């Protein structure tokens, strides 16, 4: 299974989701490949936001070696599933899809809801981590059953 997590800048939400799903999958012995990207390109090559690194580290997960990358259309061919953090990311990614098969790989990380962007509010990093963690456990369980 190859999974891509997508948010706006690829420095807060998607690196957390990337790190959490990767950690949980490894913990369960799943041979999954997890990565992340952003629909915006201004952070390409940068490490995750220090606040995201800190909240992950405080919860036993190291995301410090991740580097931001810009979502590219060829990612549709590389990944089995593409999870996006909010509706704007969903629109931006779907706009790059060229087929129904590509569009079917894309969904909101939280069905019918969004992961709040903590970038402008330090106090959101802990609750966003918890939200992503809970949903990651659900996603892994659902994927293992299918």
* Cα 37 to Cα 7: distance, rounded to the nearest angstrom: 7
13 catalytic residue (yes or no): yes
The single residue of 7, 35, 51, 86 carrying the catalytic annotation is: 7
Distance of CA 49 to the CA centre of its chain: 14
134 catalytic residue (yes or no): no
The single residue of 35, 49, 86, 117 carrying the catalytic annotation is: 117
Q: Which residues make Cβ contacts (< 8 Å) with residue 62, sequence separation at least 6?
A: 19, 56
117 catalytic residue (yes or no): yes
The single residue of 12, 13, 86, 135 carrying the catalytic annotation is: 13
Residue numbers annotated as active site: 7, 13, 117
């Amino acid at each position: 299974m190859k999974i891509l997590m997508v948010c706006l800048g690829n420095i807060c939400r998607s690196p957390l989701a990337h790190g959490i799903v990767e950690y949980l999958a490894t913990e369960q012995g799943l041979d999954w490949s997890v990565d992340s990207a952003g629909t915006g390109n201004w952070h390409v090559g940068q490490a995750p936001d220090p606040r995201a690194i800190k909240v992950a580290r405080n919860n036993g997960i190291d995301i410090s070696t991740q580097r931001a990358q810009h979502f590219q259309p060829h990612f549709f061919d590389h990944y089995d599933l593409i999870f996006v953090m909010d509706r704007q990311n969903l629109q931006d990614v779907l706009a790059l899809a060229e087929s129904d098969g590509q569009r079917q790989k894309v969904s909101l990380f939280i069905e019918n809801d969004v992961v709040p962007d903590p970038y402008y509010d330090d106090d959101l990093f802990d609750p966003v981590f918890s939200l992503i963690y809970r949903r990651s456990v659900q996603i892994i369980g659902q994927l293992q059953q299918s």
